[in-house]
Amino acid sequence: MILDHLDNWRQYACLHPHMAAAFEFLSNSDLCTLEPGRHAIDADRVYAVVLREQGRGREQARLEAHREYIDIQFCISGSEEIGYKAAVHCVGDGNGYDEAKDIEFFTDAPAGWAATEPGSFGVFFPADAHAPLAGVGEIRKVVVKIKV
């Protein structure tokens, strides 16, 4: 897991061959004008999902993890918190891994919380369970998915 501000993205570009493309999209796009939904960056290898949702609060945010994609969760506006815990220490919710949606949910409470204010991001690898949208009020964000 990585938490940082978008200004510092270049130091993470070496972590994956498609990381630079994901961060260039975040840096060079007018994110405020993008409509909610999926936006192609590099076919299924890298794509963005723009969200505008109400925060769920810590009590309603559920830990999740992905096996096929790395998430870069970038806050455009609002005040988001994201819970986190190592996926290896999480207990599944009984529904198992959904291969079609590349997601597994857990029953655990997060081990910690991180605030992602506008302009900041969190990178969550498959080993990182995360509980997004734990803030309150309207949150506008982009989740860039990078194929592992």
Q: What pLDDT is attached to residue 36?
A: 97
Q: Residue 113: its pLDDT value, please?
A: 97
Domain boundaries, the chain: 2-147
- Mention every residue, 6+ apart, whose C-beta is less than 8 A from residue 104: 64, 65, 66, 67, 92, 95, 96, 97, 98
pLDDT reported for residue 87: 97
How confident is the model over 55-80, as a mean pLDDT? 96
**Between vectors from CA 130 to CA 6 and to CA 80, what angle results, nearest 5°?**
55
Write down the pLDDT at residue 43: 95
User: Helix count (H) and strand count (E) of the chain?
Assistant: 2, 10
Phi, psi of 78 (to 5 degrees): 95, -175
More confident of the two residues 79 and 129: 129
pLDDT tens, 2-32? 999 999 999 999 999 999 999 999 999 999 9
- What does the pLDDT look like over 97-145, one tens digit per residue? 999 999 999 999 999 999 999 999 999 999 999 999 999 999 999 999 9
Return the CATH number of the domain spanning residue range 2-147.
Answer: 2.60.120.370
